[in-house]
Amino acid sequence: MAKVGTPQTSPTLPTPAQGVRWTTPIVETPGIVVLASWIWRLTRFLVTLPFRFPVLVATVAVSFAAWWWLDWPGLAGFWATAAVASLVWWRTWPDSYRRCVPLRVLAWWRHVFVYRRHWQPVLVISGLAESYQERRYLPRIRRVTCDTWADRVRVSLVAGTSPTDFETRVAELAHGFQAPSCRVVVDGPRRITLEFPRHDTLADPIDALDIPDAVDLAALPVGIREDGSPWLLRLHGTHVLVAGVTGAGKGSVIWSAVRAMLPAIDTGTAQVWAIDPKRMELSYGRALFAQYADTGEAAVAVLESAVEQMQHRAARYAGKRRSHTPTAEDPFVLVVLDEVAFLTAYHPDRDIRKRSENAIATLTSQGRSVGFAVLAALQDPRKEVMNLRNLFPDKVALRLDEASQVDMILGEGARDRGANAHLIDPTLPGVGYVRMETSPAPLRVRAAYVSDDNITAMTDVYGVEEA
Ligand X SMILES: Nc1ncnc2c1ncn2[C@@H]1O[C@H](COP(=O)(O)OP(=O)(O)OP(=O)(O)O)[C@@H](O)[C@H]1O
Rounded distance between C-alpha atoms, residue 314 and residue 237, angstroms: 14
Verify binding: residue 277, ligand X, rule CB under 6 A: no
Chosen from Mg ion, ligand X, none, partner binding at 24 (C-beta under 5 to 8 Å by type): none
Compare residues 194 and 386 and give the one whose CB is closer to ligand X: 386
Q: Tell me the window of 21-29, 42-50, 156-164, 240-248 that interacts with ligand X (CB under 6 A).
A: 240-248
Stretch that binds ligand X, among 52-60, 149-157, 247-255, 353-361 (CB under 6 A): 247-255
Q: How far is the CB of 124 from ligand X (least distance, A)?
A: 40
Binding to ligand X (CB under 6 A) within 377-396 occurs at 379
Considering only 153-161, 245-253, 320-328, 382-390, which stretch makes contact with ligand X by CB under 6 A? 245-253
Angle CA 13–16–18, to nearest 5: 80
Segment contacting ligand X (CB under 6 A): 105-113, 242-250, 294-302, 353-361? 242-250
Pairwise CA distance, residues 108 & 112, whole Å: 6
- Residue 447 binds what, of ligand X, Mg ion, none (CB under 5 to 8 Å, by partner type)? ligand X
The greatest distance separating any two alpha carbons of the chain, rounded to the nearest whole angstrom, comes to: 101
Q: Looking at 181, 238, 252, 362, which residue binds ligand X (CB under 6 A)?
A: 252
Quote the crossing angle between the two packed helices 452-462 and 250-260, to the nearest 10°. Answer: 30
Determine the length of the chain: 467
Q: Which is nearer to Mg ion, 170 or 409 (CB)?
A: 409
Compute how many residues bind ligand X; rule: CB under 6 A.
Answer: 15
> Does residue 139 belong to the site contacting ligand X (CB under 6 A)?
no
Q: Among residue numbers 329 through 348, which ones bind ligand X (CB under 6 A)?
A: none
DSSP letter assigned to residue 383: T
Burial of residue 150 (CB within 10 Å: 0-12, 13-18, 19+) is buried
Contact in structure between 355 and 220 (CB atoms under 8 Å): no
List the x/- string, 409-438, binding to ligand X by CB under 6 A. --------------------xx--------
Question: Is 385 buried (19+), middle (13-18) or exposed (0-12) by CB count in 10 A?
Answer: middle
Interacting residue ranges for Mg ion, rule: CB under 5 A: 250-251, 281
For residues 106 and 150, what is the distance between their CA atoms, to the nearest angstrom? 11
Mark 107-146 as b/e (b = at least 16 C-beta within 10 Å). beebbeebbeeebeebbeebebbeeeeeeeebbeeeebbb
Single out the residue of 66, 128, 150, 248 in contact with ligand X (rule: CB under 6 A): 248
Cα–Cα distance between 213 and 198 in angstroms, integer? 34
**Contact residue for ligand X among 110, 250, 353, 395 (CB under 6 A):** 250
**75/63 Cα distance (integer angstroms):** 6
DSSP assignment letter at 367: S
Residues 443-462 that bind ligand X (CB under 6 A): 447, 449
Quick one: which of 163, 176, 197, 244 contacts ligand X (CB under 6 A)? Answer: 244
- Indicate whether 73 belongs to the interface with ligand X (CB under 6 A): no
Q: Which residues make up the interface to ligand X (CB under 6 A)?
A: 205, 244, 246-252, 281, 379, 429-430, 447, 449
